Amino acid sequence: MNDSLLDLIVNASPLVQAVMALLLLASVVSWALIFRKSSELRAAQTSADAFESRFWSGIDLADLYTQLAKAETGGLESVFLAGYREFARLFKYQPSPAMLTENTERAMRVAISRALDELDDRLAFLATVGSTSPYIGLFGTVWGIMNAFRALQHVQQATLALVAPGIAEALIATAMGLFAAIPAVIAYNRYTTRIDKLGRRYEHFAEEFLCLLQRRALDKE
Q: Domain segments of the chain: what residues?
A: 5-219
Residue 90: per-residue pLDDT: 86
CA distances for 92 relative to 4, 79, 220, angstroms: 77, 21, 11
Residue type, 54: R
- The segments of the chain whose pLDDT lies below 50 read 1-2
Using only the alpha carbons of the chain, give its radius of gyration. 28
Residue 101: per-residue pLDDT: 87
Spatial CB neighbours of 12, under 8 Å, sequence gap ≥ 6: 20, 144, 169, 170, 172
Segment 214-218 long-range contacts (CB within 8 Å, at least 24 positions apart): 214/97, 214/100, 214/101, 217/87, 217/91, 217/97, 217/100
The angle subtended at Cα 24 by Cα 141 and Cα 130, nearest 5°, is: 75
Residue 210: per-residue pLDDT: 92
Residue 215: per-residue pLDDT: 82
Residue 151: per-residue pLDDT: 66
Residue 96: per-residue pLDDT: 77
Residue 160: per-residue pLDDT: 59
Are the CB atoms for 112 and 199 separated by under 8 Å? yes
The angle subtended at Cα 40 by Cα 79 and Cα 82, nearest 5°, is: 10
Measured between its terminal Cα atoms, the distance across the chain in Å is 87
Greatest CA span in the chain, whole angstroms? 99
Tens digits of per-residue pLDDT, 101-137? Answer: 899 999 999 999 999 999 998 899 999 999 999 999 9
Q: What's the full length of the chain, in residues? A: 221
> What is the Cβ-side half-sphere exposure of residue 32, based on CA atoms within 13 angstroms?
8
pTM above threshold 0.75 = yes
Q: Where are the beta strands (DSSP E) in the chain?
A: none
Cα 169 from Cα 171, distance rounded (Å) = 5
